Amino acid sequence: METLKKEKIESKKKETLRISGAEAIIHCLLAEGVDLIYGYPGGAIMPLYDELYKFQDKLTHILTRHEQGATHAAQGYARVTGKVGVAVATSGPGATNLVTGLADAQIDSTPMVCITGQVPRELLGSDAFQETDIIGISTPVTKWNCQVTKASEIPEVLAKAFYIARSGRPGPVLVDITKNAQFEEFDFTYEHCKGVRSYNPYPKPDPKSIISAAELINSAKKPLIVFGQGVILGEAEEQLKALVEKAGIPAAWTILGLSAMDTDHPLNVGMVGMHGNYAPNVLTNECDVFIAIGMRFDDRVTGSLATYAKQAKVIHFDIDPAEINKNVKADVAVLGNAKDTLGLILPLVNPNKHEEWHNIFKEKYEIEFEQVIKNDVHPTKEKLTMAEVIEEINLASGHKAIIVSDVGQHQMIACRYAKFKQSKSNVTSGGLGTMGFALPAAIGAKMGAMDREVVAIIGDGGYQMTIQELGTIFQNKTPVKIVVLNNDHLGMVRQWQELFFESRYASTVMVNPDFVKIAEGYSIQAKRISERKDLKATIQEMLASKDAYFLEVCVEKEDNVFPMVPSGASVSDIRLK
């Protein structure tokens, strides 16, 4: 009887459906656990949209106002959920409008699958209406891409796409599907991809490198950990905390590593990089063992490589072999998922406190507090500062909000001063530095974490690059909170012009529209404030709202973000003013 039952189950598994390629795409998405996608329809992708109409009870499609907005929303969703974000677009300009989001996801290791429509197979290469070579265009900015010209290819290609996007070091994948392939019928079956020939996403940790790394850590007098997003992507937050606490090692973070460890943890010493904290930047060039965990030694972190941590033994934990020795030579390379490798090294590390070393970090912090932080967060000047706005959001949200920041001065301030108690709370464009990222990314983040408060921190410049996504918020009633810190300038460029180009403010002054009226045009509650006395109550009102809320805060026009490591300088040359 049991054998008969098993045979029936096996036979059911092998059943095929005679369906169109467009419907097959839907079944593939559902099989991969996708329930939410972002996109914009058009001629070459219309068969898929026709099927989406039929499956709207199982698969929610969010109509963004621009294809770039769809990619950033998919990124925001992926970053807070850990799932693969999905974006859909038509051929030609629809597909090319995805490229910025693809590039952003590629450099920031965000799992995303983009599906584009393409002209029919027989028209490929004929310069047909809205035909572009999206495979050629997107090859440099995707982890993998593929063009499908037959319906029967769809299941295998999409299964592979999701596997590649989410496995190992995640990244974006693009699948381009011709219109004829969407119309054709075939016998559909689906099997999840479990591996790809010559692709090894999870390198097996070498026991010898684990032992060598542990020996270096145990012998260190002045060790320093710098952790990046690899900790979050590898779900290694607990292992990182355990290592830091057991070995008593000061730990600093890169922008994308922010929130992997409680920002108020006593061993968390702040942010490294161009606008990072004074102590971890300066002491990078004084530590004797530098432990990099899931970070890639970006130039904004290292400054001049010629002087970066030259006195230290370097241990590099990373899942991607391509990152080892790419920028900084590692004395010990530990390949593998951070959760696995940190778990393996933890028993081999000796308990320690490094109290004298920690005292040096505290002394440096006091210098920064007196010269920078105190004036940022508790200013005596009349005009509001960006930092005090972030601090007020910290207090009002109990350090529990997801902060989605755009790119510019406000981003650096948000990353320096936002406080987090939970991982996956910081969403920003790191490596590509994409202005316009925050508004659509906040939509995706909110849809991925409806139980959490999501606050977008945006400058007046970047906001206008994707301001049309207010329409997406309006149509979907997405209760995201938007804070525009308005200094009437492209602030970061203006700062560089002031410091390095003798204050020649070429094309950085912004003549802005009435942002409040624009938000109200989308039926979003909106307010503008410019005085300190209104800040606390307005932030509380915003966070108390059950609906979307837009807040414009008029801040000091010519404030600069310090500390600052000048471009190409050593991290030891960090400026406090």
We report the CATH number of the domain holding residue 172 as: 3.40.50.970
- The size of the chain, in residues, is 577
**DSSP per residue, 243-263:** HHHHHT--EEE-GGGTTSS-T
Instruction: Tell me, yes or no, whether 446 and 508 share the same domain.
Output: yes
Residues 92, 219 within the same domain: no
Task: For residue 10, give every residue at least 6 positions away whose Cβ sits within 8 Å of its Cβ, in sequence order, or none.
Answer: none
Choose one of 361, 394, 423: the last residue of a domain. Answer: 361
Q: Looking at the structure, do residues 216 and 329 belong to the same domain, yes or no?
A: yes
Report yes or no on 366 lying in a domain.
no
Helical segments of 286-372, H only: 299-302, 338-345, 355-368
Residues 527-536 have a mean pLDDT of 97
pLDDT at 488 over 70: yes
Residues 67, 153, 368, 469: which is the catalytic one? 67
The verdict on residue 367 lying in a domain is: no
The pLDDT tens digits of the residues spanning 438-465 come to 999 999 999 999 999 999 999 999 999 9
CA distance 391 to 539: 10
Within this chain, do residues 385 and 350 fall inside the same structural domain, yes or no? no
Task: Give me the catalytic one of 160, 179, 241, 313.
Answer: 179
Three-state SS across 488-552? Answer: CECHHHHHHHHHHCCCCCCCCECCCCCHHHHHHHCCCEEEEECCHHHHHHHHHHHHHCCCCEEEE
Give the pLDDT of residue 81: 98
Q: What's the confidence (pLDDT) of residue 9?
A: 39
Distance CA 481, CA 403 (A): 10
Inter-residue contact 445 to 76 (CB < 8 Å): yes
Does some domain include residue 423? yes
Residue 394 and residue 349 share a domain: no
pLDDT on residue 6: 44
Catalytic, 55? Answer no
- The residue annotated as part of the active site, out of 271, 447, 492, 564, is 492
Distances (CA, A) of 236 to 228, 261, 323, 513: 11, 10, 19, 45
Query: 262 and 153, same structural domain?
Result: no
pLDDT at 380: 86
- Residue 2 in this model has a pLDDT that exceeds 80: no
- Residues 401-447 have pLDDT tens digits of 999 999 999 999 999 999 999 999 999 999 999 999 999 999 999 99
Q: Where are the alpha helices (DSSP H) in 285-437?
A: 299-302, 338-345, 355-368, 374-377, 386-397, 409-417
CA 35, CA 203: separation in Å to the nearest integer? 31
Is residue 560, in this structure, part of any structural domain at all?
no
Count Cα atoms within 13 angstroms, Cβ side, for 561.
26
> Is 361 part of the annotated catalytic residue set?
no
Is 198 exposed, middle or buried (CB count within 10 Å of its CB: 0-12, 13-18, 19+)? exposed
Mean of all residue pLDDT scores within the chain = 96
563 occurs within a structural domain: no
- Read off the tokens for 52: 């989406």
106 given a catalytic annotation: no
130 among known catalytic residues = yes
Q: What angle do CA 185, 186, 190 make, to 5 degrees?
A: 125
Residue 356 shares a structural domain with residue 384: no
d(CA 303, CA 519): 40
* 131 is annotated as an active-site residue: no
354 and 494 together in one domain: no
What percent of the chain stands above pLDDT 70?
97
Region of 368 please: left (phi>0), alpha (psi -120 to 50) or beta.
alpha
pLDDT band with cut points at 50, 70 and 90 for residue 104: very high
For residues 388-403, average pLDDT: 97
Q: What is the CATH number of the domain that holds 345?
A: 3.40.50.1220
pLDDT, one tens digit per residue, over 329-387 is 999 999 999 999 999 999 999 999 999 999 999 999 999 999 999 999 999 888 999 99
Q: Residue 13's pLDDT is what?
A: 52
- The verdict on 8 and 143 lying in the same domain is yes
Residue (of 299, 309, 252) closest to 276 by Cα position: 252
User: Residue 103 falls within a domain, yes or no?
Assistant: yes
Q: How many CA atoms lie within 13 A of 285 on its CB side?
A: 18
Q: According to the model, what pLDDT value does residue 14 have?
A: 56
For the stretch 85-94, pLDDT in tens is: 999 999 999 9
Q: What type of residue sits at position 489?
A: H
Marked catalytic residue, from 6, 54, 58, 129 = 129
The pTM score is 0.95
Containing H/E element for 282? helix 278-284
Residue 83 in domain: yes
First to last CA, the chain: 81
CA atoms within 13 A on the CB side of 93: 3
Does residue 368 lie in a domain region?
A: no
Same domain, 329 and 401: no
Query: 525 - beta bridge partners?
Result: 549
* Beta-bridge partners for 185: 20
Q: What is the mean pLDDT of residues 171-190?
A: 98
pLDDT digits (tens, 9 = 90+) for 229-251: 999 999 999 999 999 999 999 99
C-alpha closest to that of 358 among 255, 273, 251, 431: 251
Residues 337 and 398 occupy one common structural domain: no
Q: Does 406 share its domain with 485?
A: yes
C-alpha span between 153 and 403 (Å, rounded): 40
Phi and psi at residue 555, to the nearest 5°: -115, 170
Cis ω before 440 (30° cut-off from 0): no
pLDDT score at 16 = 81
**What range defines the domain where residue 413 resides?**
378-554
Q: What is the total count of domains within the chain? A: 3
pLDDT (average), residues 499-524:
96
Tens-digit pLDDT profile for residues 248-304: 999 999 999 999 999 999 999 999 999 999 999 999 999 999 999 999 999 999 999
Indicate which residue of 46, 130, 383, 474 is catalytic. 130
Chain centre distance of CA 56: 28
| Residue 320 tokens, joined | 């991607």
C-alpha distances out from residue 62 to 36, 197, 232, 336, Å = 7, 35, 27, 36
Bridge partner residues of 188 (DSSP): 17
Look at residue 533 and tell me whether its pLDDT is greater than 50.
yes
Among 235, 97, 85, 231, which Cα is nearest to 172's? 85
12-64: pLDDT as tens digits: 455 688 999 999 999 999 999 999 999 999 999 999 999 999 999 999 999 99
* 487 to 271, 440, 508: CA distances (angstroms): 24, 22, 11
